[in-house]
């Protein structure tokens, strides 16, 4: 019996824990990334339906990045191009069944929309849709990764006159049937909710928008990414140098350079930056995930 209890305990410790999360992440410039993480490789998201609501400060979603490393994916998910690139609302297919255009994550203006939504950019309330198509299912070869980028939005907050609040909720009115804010459908039909927000203040104080919220603002800050641009390098060293020797409450203290979150910038922060110099603050998973049949 003792051996059985020990085996069960080992299995309990070894069992993977999956906590799917989807967030708004501030990138360099005016870019905000919609990123998911922690998906179960045996029960991946099948589709996302999201409402992006920008309010306050007269800001809008100006665009959606379609080229480069931050572009949203188009087409089926493959081992060399994994992700959510199926857009049924805007896809165009010719008479022969060939795809003329995969469309984009911006839902069609002709489809049912929640109150106040405007699908024409610039927009302060936008509905986005993401779906996946791949085979075979459950062997991990062509499926989307368990962490990844859905898209990157460009936000006009440079002309804002006050705080800019970006809210992301699930679109349950017409797309994902379920509780309020339901916006994710998993492979087994389970529905999950989405309710995240990101706030930018116009004040010049770097502590107004703390970089320490790694979930909603900056994944790599605690590793040395003071600029929150997704990489750790000389620009972050400059930020640390400018704030070196300063403590919270003193002029020149920048919480973004306080990597160990002890309310002061010093040698411990320099060590952490040195350890991670030249790396990415956030490294999404690219490994193949396999599931039992």
pLDDT given for residue 231 in this prediction: 80
CATH fold match for the domains 19-202 and 213-283: no
- Give the pLDDT confidence score for residue 80 in this predicted structure: 92
Residue 7: the pLDDT is 35
Between the two ends of the chain, the Cα-to-Cα distance in Å is 31
Q: What is d(CA 119, CA 126) in angstroms, rounded to the nearest whole number?
A: 6
* Mean pLDDT along residues 27-40: 87
Share of the chain above pLDDT 70, in %: 78
The domain ranges of the chain are 19-202, 213-283
**Residues 35, 55: Cα–Cα separation, whole Å:** 21
Strand, coil or helix: what is 12?
Answer: helix
What integer pLDDT is reported at residue 262 of this predicted model?
81
Q: What is 213-283's CATH topology?
A: Type 1 dockerin domain (1.10.1330)
Q: pLDDT-based confidence at 293, cuts 50/70/90?
A: very low
**Residue 279 reports pLDDT greater than 70:** yes
Segment 23-32 mean pLDDT: 83
Give pLDDT tens digits for 140-193. Answer: 889 999 999 999 998 886 555 566 788 999 999 999 988 899 999 999 999 999
At the topology level of CATH, where does 19-202 sit? Answer: Immunoglobulin-like (2.60.40)
- The pLDDT of residue 13 is 41
State how far the Cα of 84 lies from the Cα of 76, in Å rounded to an integer: 8
The pLDDT assigned to 89 comes to 87
| Average pLDDT score over the chain | 81
Contact in structure between 72 and 65 (CB atoms under 8 Å)? yes
- With a threshold of 0.85, does the pTM exceed it? no
As a whole number, mean pLDDT of residues 202-211 equals 49
Mean pLDDT of 236-242: 91
Task: Count Cα atoms within 13 angstroms, Cβ side, for 10.
Answer: 6
- 186 CB contacts (<8 Å, ≥6 apart)? 20, 40, 43, 44, 45, 46, 192
Which has the higher per-residue pLDDT, 222 or 239? 239
Residues 39-67 as b or e (16 or more Cβ within 10 Å = b): bbbbbbbbbbbbbbbbebbebbbeebbee
């Amino acid at each position: 019996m003792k051996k059985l209890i020990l085996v069960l305990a080992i299995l309990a410790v070894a069992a993977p824990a999956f906590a799917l999360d989807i967030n708004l992440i501030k990138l360099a410039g005016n870019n905000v990334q919609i990123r998911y993480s922690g998906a179960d490789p045996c029960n991946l998201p099948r589709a996302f339906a999201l409402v992006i609501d920008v309010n306050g400060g007269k800001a809008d979603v100006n665009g959606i990045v379609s080229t480069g490393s931050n572009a949203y994916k188009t087409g089926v998910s493959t081992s060399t191009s994994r992700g959510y690139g199926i857009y049924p609302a805007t896809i165009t297919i010719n008479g022969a069944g060939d795809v003329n255009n995969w469309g984009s994550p911006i839902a069609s203006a002709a489809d049912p929309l929640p109150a106040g939504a405007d699908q024409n950019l610039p927009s302060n309330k936008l509905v986005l849709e993401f779906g996946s198509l791949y085979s075979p299912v459950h062997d991990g070869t062509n499926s989307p990764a368990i962490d990844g980028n859905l898209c990157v939005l460009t936000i006009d907050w440079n002309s804002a006159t006050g705080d800019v609040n970006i809210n992301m909720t699930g679109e349950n009115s017409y797309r994902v049937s379920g509780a309020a804010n339901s916006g994710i459908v998993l492979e087994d039909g389970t529905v999950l909710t989405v309710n995240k927000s990101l706030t930018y203040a116009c004040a010049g104080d770097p502590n107004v928008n703390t970089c320490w919220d790694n979930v909603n603002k900056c994944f790599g800050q605690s590793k040395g990414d003071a600029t929150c641009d997704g990489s750790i390098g000389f620009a972050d060293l400059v930020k640390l140098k400018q704030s070196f020797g300063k403590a919270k409450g003193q002029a020149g203290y920048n919480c973004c350079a306080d990597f160990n979150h002890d309310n002061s910038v010093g040698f411990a922060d320099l060590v952490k930056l040195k350890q991670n110099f030249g790396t990415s603050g956030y490294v999404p998973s690219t490994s193949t995930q396999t599931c039992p049949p």
